[in-house]
Amino acid sequence: MSEERFNELRGEQVVYAIHRQERTFLPTREHCPLCPTRAGGDATEIPREAFEIAVFENRFPAFEGPRGAAEVIVYTDEHEGSLATLPPERAEALMWVWRHRYSELGAREDVRYVMIFENRGVEVGVTLHHPHGQVYAFPFLPPVPERELQADARAGGCAVCALLAAELGDGRRVVYEDDGVVCFVPFAARWAFEVHVVVREHRASLLEFDAAELRSLAAALQALVRGYDALFARPFPYVMVVHQAPTGASGAAVGGHVHVEFYPPLRDADKLKYLAGSEQGAGTFIADTIPEESAAALREAIAHGA
């Protein structure tokens, strides 16, 4: 069981999940716990010889009932690949799974925020290479979504809607768009190739998406990750987080506008951005690149990766 302690100086919770020290660390393909269980092979987390998408409660959870949950979402039964290489209909199915997990976990009385995310690459601490993401159902509202609500208050309405309008008006940082979704390097990006994938219509959560919007979101995410991989001709590490409305005790959505944020640690083909003195001690990012130039490079890479 995890323990939460409130850090007074930072004004935020710290979660101690010391059992996670024992979690599986970069196993060989033969011992991958996210592969199907094959005849004569190891028993894995999924006791089937084939599957499409699987979700299970994390064996090494940061959160678990009666205070939250931690789940693993396995995108495919194939060990190799990524979000970008899934067949389009599988990527679209994944959006429906995200929607379902938000619905089920967000309806729980002990859950205040459902965060769907993916860590890709050892650069961001991945311990299993099989294509997968995770869900953390927080029993409290974490600082980032709380700040998004504060941004709404400052904007006098939806801050994401206002930022989207500004990005479309400027246009220099937009890297991909279709009828439903816009992708851009934000005006004040903290990471060199940070991208926000924003649904055009105001939608508090994936529950408000129709099938066409889910399809559009899946296509945008795949185009972006293909572009990332084309940018430096290598698998591009990132942290991807789906931002949605916090969930109240009643299960009703409060505030929020669905968008997916990518935080890639690379600032060049072989250079990582580290969180050092200013970022850790002052909370101020010092960026080595300018968003307009990053967007131009990424826009070209997305076109090349298509």
Partner 1 sequence: MASETPQEKRDSPAERRSSRISPSARQARDPAGDERVGPLAIEHLRKDDGRALLLYERRAPRR
Active site residues per annotation? 132
Cα separation, 196 vs 295, in Å, equals 11
Q: Cβ closer to partner 1: 115 or 160?
A: 115
Least distance to partner 1, CB of residue 90, Å? 8
Residues in the chain, overall count: 306
Contact of 205 with 256, CB cutoff 8 Å: yes
Q: Cβ closer to partner 1: 59 or 267?
A: 59
Q: Cβ closer to partner 1: 73 or 198?
A: 73
Task: Indicate the residue type of 300.
Answer: E
Q: Cβ closer to partner 1: 171 or 251?
A: 251
DSSP line for 66-94:
TB-EEEEEE--S-SS--GGGS-HHHHHHH
Least distance to partner 1, CB of residue 75, Å? 11
Cα separation, 197 vs 191, in Å, equals 15
Q: Cβ closer to partner 1: 97 or 189?
A: 97
Least distance to partner 1, CB of residue 97, Å? 5
Cα separation, 228 vs 84, in Å, equals 10
SS3 224: helix
Cα separation, 20 vs 132, in Å, equals 18
Q: Cβ closer to partner 1: 114 or 302?
A: 114
Within 8 A by CB and 6+ apart from 64, the residues are: 1, 2, 57, 70
Residue 16's closest CA among 61, 69, 77, 59? 61
Q: Is the dihedral of CA 140, 138, 193, 208 positive or negative?
A: negative
Least distance to partner 1, CB of residue 53, Å? 4
Least distance to partner 1, CB of residue 299, Å? 31
Cα separation, 12 vs 55, in Å, equals 29
Residues in the site for partner 1, rule: CB under 8 A?
Answer: 45-48, 51-57, 59, 64-66, 69, 89, 93, 96-97, 99-100, 103-104, 106-110, 211, 214, 251
SS3 5: strand
Least distance to partner 1, CB of residue 216, Å? 14
